[in-house]
Chains A and B, each alone.
Chain A
Amino acid sequence: MRFRGYVRSDGTVGSRNYVAVIPSVVCVNEVVEAISSRTTMTRGIYHHQGCCQLPPDLARVTDSLIKLGQNPNAGAALVVSLGCEGVDTDRLVAEIAATGKPVERVNVQEIGGTARAIQAGMDLAQKLAVKISGQQRQDVDLASAIIGIKCGASDATSGLASNVVIGYLADRIVEAGGTVIFGETTEFIGAEHILARRAKTPEVAARIYEIVGRMEDRAKSMGVDMRSGQPTPGNIKGGLTTIEEKSLGAIVKSGTKPIEGVLEYTEAPSSPGLWIKDTPGREIEVLTAMSIAGAQAMLFSTGRGAPQGFPIAPVLKICGNPITYENMSGDMDVNAGLIITGERSIEELGEETLAHLIRVMSGEVTKCEEIRYTTSMDIYTLGPVI
């Protein structure tokens, strides 16, 4: 199986060719927004971090922004700095440039304020966009694919239809030599023993128990029942009673292949196959984690209807609930509810969705991309804002 992607100078392959406009700190999001809204090939990497955080979190934010800039879906990057942030902007610029892609920077305090920064940023973004716009897609093997998978706004259909379809795709992509990453450690609680049985080594199994224990301790730290934080009120309305039930349905999307290893939030997989990434369950931090790991596209399962995409990656929405699909067809790409209504088998819908994913990897837009519902993202940090 093959797709048509942008082959980068470091050998990675993009499914999109954007100029990533990266704020090194939350304080310049407005400048990034102004630059991105007046230019066409740009995508703002909005987040709410980068200052007044403890050093491990600042390193984590810097590493995350570097990996987002290095993601092959970005053909070039423009870093916007305030000038006094906690993120190491010099390292951010240098490490993105080390991939061989063109990088520019603008510093709001040095250049003389917001208006000048926006003007300079637009000029630089335009220059970068023109420079990369002539790049052509090439035929590449699906082994180059790195696919992030996620479920959000789940209901009882998620574990029985849409996650089953994603699990089918996860197996097919791994069999083709590609890479698949899943996260949402919170949604392993009650199902970790099943994942541990699929771990490639006893060490990987021990790591799965370790990250689940760590996440459960965080959930318990406020002295309350985690229910209604997880599962969410929407999950409960949709028929999911406990975190165990949600987890057992959530892990279905990982398919059946052995688990190669467990990645920390800012890590990328070192070889193909199926990987776990330690993340919370919330959409915005999970999609960011997948993009940090180099994902060129995401498969996103939903039952109640999660609309969001991601700035630099196509997000294919696979809806398990046939009623939600009809109700939100402007947001949903694939109707996996056809399994519930008996109109498709799992295998038929799996093959159709795999073909759909390959078209998207080759340039077809997803519904959330077309309506530009693509700016909801953030970086998951651990310590306090101080």
Chain B
Amino acid sequence: MRSERLTGLKVNDRDNVATLFCSACASHEVEVVDRQGRRISVVVTGDIPYGHKIALGDTRRGEAVIKYGEQIGVATSDIRTGQHVHVHNVESTRGRGDWEEEAGSR
């Protein structure tokens, strides 16, 4: 990683998201690098703040969002390549007291 400013990082080969280290990326093509130094270009389709995630591929509603090679949550709507991936389209499956509350009240 030395002597190169990161603009985007894909942590694990299995990941379908990358973390961006630029702001005001909207409508730009950003370069994402993986741990082996390989580069992928992705066109950003919305505003993605510094440190937030971009979709590297299409993910359907209900499918897993993968970072660090592990599931970090599930898509709550269809996500297209280049979109901002965050709380508006991903939910956790852990610590969901609300799900147990709903199950209990049914």
**Residues of chain A whose beta carbon lies under 8 Å from any beta carbon of chain B:** 155-157, 159-160, 189-191, 194, 216, 219-227, 230, 236, 238-239, 241-245, 248-249, 303, 321, 323, 339-346, 348
A220 touches B100 (CB 8 A): yes
Task: Choose among B2, B6, B85 the residue with the greatest number of A CB atoms under 10 Å from its CB.
Answer: B2
A243 touches B92 (CB 8 A): yes
Return chain B residues, CB-CB under 8 Å to A155. 51
Known: A226-B94, A241-B65, A243-B94; 13 extra A-B contacts, CB below 8 A, are: A160-B9, A220-B97, A223-B97, A226-B97, A238-B51, A239-B52, A241-B87, A242-B90, A244-B70, A340-B5, A341-B6, A343-B2, A348-B2
Return chain B residues, CB-CB under 8 Å to A191. 70
Return chain B residues, CB-CB under 8 Å to A216. 94-95
A222 touches B97 (CB 8 A): yes
Return chain B residues, CB-CB under 8 Å to A189. 94-95
A190 touches B94 (CB 8 A): yes
Is B11's CB within 8 Å of the partner chain A? yes
B1 touches A339 (CB 8 A): yes
Return chain A residues, CB-CB under 8 Å to B86. 236, 239, 241
Which single member of B4, B9, B73 contacts A242 (CB below 8 Å)?
B73
Return chain A residues, CB-CB under 8 Å to B65. 241
Which single member of A236, A245, A321 contacts B72 (CB below 8 Å)?
A245
Measured CA separation A127–B87 after assembly (Å): 57
Once A223-B100, A225-B96 are accepted as A-B contacts, the answer to whether A342 and B72 lie under 8 Å apart by CB is no
B3 touches A342 (CB 8 A): yes
Once A156-B19, A342-B3 are accepted as A-B contacts, the answer to whether A241 and B72 lie under 8 Å apart by CB is yes
B97 touches A248 (CB 8 A): no
Measured CA separation A249–B68 after assembly (Å): 8
**Residues of chain B whose beta carbon lies under 8 Å from any beta carbon of chain A:** 1-6, 9, 11, 19, 21, 49-53, 65, 67-68, 70-73, 85-87, 90-98, 100-101, 104
A244 touches B51 (CB 8 A): no
Q: Specify the chain A residue showing the minimal Cβ separation from B85.
A: A241
B101 touches A227 (CB 8 A): no
A342 touches B6 (CB 8 A): yes
Once A157-B51, A239-B49, A245-B73 are accepted as A-B contacts, the answer to whether A225 and B97 lie under 8 Å apart by CB is yes
Measured CA separation A221–B104 after assembly (Å): 12
Once A242-B91, A339-B1 are accepted as A-B contacts, the answer to whether A248 and B51 lie under 8 Å apart by CB is no
Which single member of B19, B73, B91, B100 contacts A239 (CB below 8 Å)?
B19
Cβ of B66 to closest chain A Cβ, rounded Å:
10
Measured CA separation A216–B97 after assembly (Å): 9
Cβ of B48 to closest chain A Cβ, rounded Å:
9
Cβ of A245 to closest chain B Cβ, rounded Å:
4
Once A156-B19, A160-B9 are accepted as A-B contacts, the answer to whether A236 and B97 lie under 8 Å apart by CB is no
Cβ of B87 to closest chain A Cβ, rounded Å:
6
Which single member of B2, B53, B72 contacts A248 (CB below 8 Å)?
B72
Measured CA separation A348–B2 after assembly (Å): 10
Measured CA separation A238–B53 after assembly (Å): 10
Return chain B residues, CB-CB under 8 Å to A249. 68
Q: Specify the chain A residue showing the minimal Cβ separation from B50.
A: A323
Q: Specify the chain A residue showing the minimal Cβ separation from B12.
A: A248
Measured CA separation A49–B11 after assembly (Å): 43
Return chain B residues, CB-CB under 8 Å to A194. 70
Which single member of A219, A223, A230, A241 contacts B53 (CB below 8 Å)?
A241
A239 touches B101 (CB 8 A): no
Return chain B residues, CB-CB under 8 Å to A230. 95
Cβ of A386 to closest chain B Cβ, rounded Å:
24
Measured CA separation A224–B97 after assembly (Å): 4
Measured CA separation A290–B62 after assembly (Å): 40
Which single member of A241, A341, A348 contacts B73 (CB below 8 Å)?
A241
Measured CA separation A223–B104 after assembly (Å): 10
Q: Specify the chain B residue showing the minimal Cβ separation from A225.
A: B98
